[in-house]
Amino acid sequence: MSDCIFCKIVKEEIPSTRVYEDEFVIGFRDLNPLAKEHLLFIHRDHSKDINDLSDANPAQLSDVFKAISSYSKSSGLASSGFRVVTNLGSDGCQTVFHTHFHVLGGEKLGGFGS
Ligand code: DGP
């Protein structure tokens, strides 16, 4: 989508710090990190949220999770652990409407059972 900020990051029309890329997926550092390691993983193809993606092209979920698996193992993040979060809509506090998965780690995370 021409006005989508993450599509512009995919096309390198705006800069980002990439940590991972393959044929389908890119991973880059979040502009406003909420943990020592805070990456965003997105499919190169546009969808607006996980429901949109799951309805239209569920195979993209495995593309993204394979990428997260590969990156987390090669970077060492998997050995200490990490969290994957995706937000949808207003109550989910989604602000960018290109499906993305936050990968958080690099330190002990609060919330969710701690
Ligand atoms: P969400 O609330 O789930 O929609 O989170 C969107 C995230 O995207 C938020 O943590 C900040 C990040 N973000 C927004 N604009 C940019 C950008 O231009 N570059 C990068 N690297 N991250 C961005």
pLDDT digits (tens, 9 = 90+) for 64-83: 999 999 999 999 999 999 99
Instruction: Report CA(72)–ligand 1 centroid distance (Å).
Output: 20
**8-state DSSP, 94:** -
**CA atoms within 13 A of residue 69's CA, in its CB half-sphere:** 6
95 CB under 6 A from ligand 1? yes
- pLDDT at residue 55, as a whole number: 97
Q: What is the pLDDT of residues 1-14, one digit of tens each?
A: 779 999 999 999 99
Instruction: Report CA(31)–ligand 1 centroid distance (Å).
Output: 6
C-alpha to C-alpha distance for 8 and 66, rounded to whole angstroms: 23
Q: What is the pLDDT of residues 25-75, one digit of tens each?
A: 999 999 999 999 999 999 999 999 999 999 999 999 999 999 999 999 999
CATH code of the domain made up of 5-105: 3.30.428.10
**Is the Cα torsion angle 20, 93, 49, 108 positive or negative in sign?**
positive
Distance in Å from the first CA to the final CA of the chain? 39
Give this prediction's pTM.
0.97
